[in-house]
Amino acid sequence: MMIRSHLGDCRWTETPVLGYKQDGTTSFRDITKQILFEGAQMHFQWRYFEVAPGGYSSLERHEHEHAVMVVRGAGRVLLQDAVYDIGHYDLILVPPMTWHQFQPTGDEPLGFLCIVNAERDRPQLPTAADLELLRQHPAVAAFIKV
């Protein structure tokens, strides 16, 4: 269908709510994914991710960029060596090879749009040495969940 209606709370007609990375290769909690747009002629994929209170996205990095807009709730994001507050309609660019993790704050889920290139590399997870480096920043050490 050319139009998919918003049903409220970031659910849409004809748009399944998917579990996130159910292949067991990464660490995350209480997060769902919806693919809003993709297609053979599209050079991008438009996704919606939602992290429930207490949950977190996987801590990862990759060569491809993430273009992100918050559309539900509020939260914090790790970008390499600092943690930032993010709220409604804020825009976040995750540059290449930048460690990142999203977490909600408060009682509402954190929901965000995330656009990526259709062709992209696979995420990398932190090694023990990577985690040690990240944790040298106290604010990062207090934030990250793996």
Binding positions for its own copies, rule: CB under 8 A = 1-6, 10, 12, 15, 36-37, 39, 41-44, 46, 64-65, 67, 69, 71, 77, 79, 84, 86-96, 98, 113, 115, 117-119
Least CB distance from residue 7 to its own copies, whole Å?
9
The one catalytic residue among 70, 78, 94, 114 = 114
Element (H, E) at 7: strand 6-8
Residue 114 appears among annotated catalytic residues: yes
E-strand spans in 18-99? 18-19, 29-37, 44-56, 66-72, 74-79, 82-86, 91-94
Q: Which residues pair with 101 in a beta bridge?
A: 78
Contact 103, 51 (CB under 8 A): yes
CB of 58 to its own copies, least distance (A): 19
User: Between 62 and 145, whose beta carbon lies closer to its own copies?
Assistant: 62
**Looking at beta carbons only, is 81 or 132 nearer to its own copies?**
81
Q: Nearest distance from residue 92's CB to its own copies, in Å?
A: 5
Minimum Å gap between C-beta 68 and its own copies is 9
Q: From the centroid of its chain, how far is CA 25?
A: 16
- In the block, tokens 């040298």 appear at 136
Task: Report whether 62 contacts 135 (CB < 8 A).
Answer: no
Q: Are 110 and 104 in contact (CB under 8 A)?
A: yes
Kindly list the catalytic residues. Answer: 114
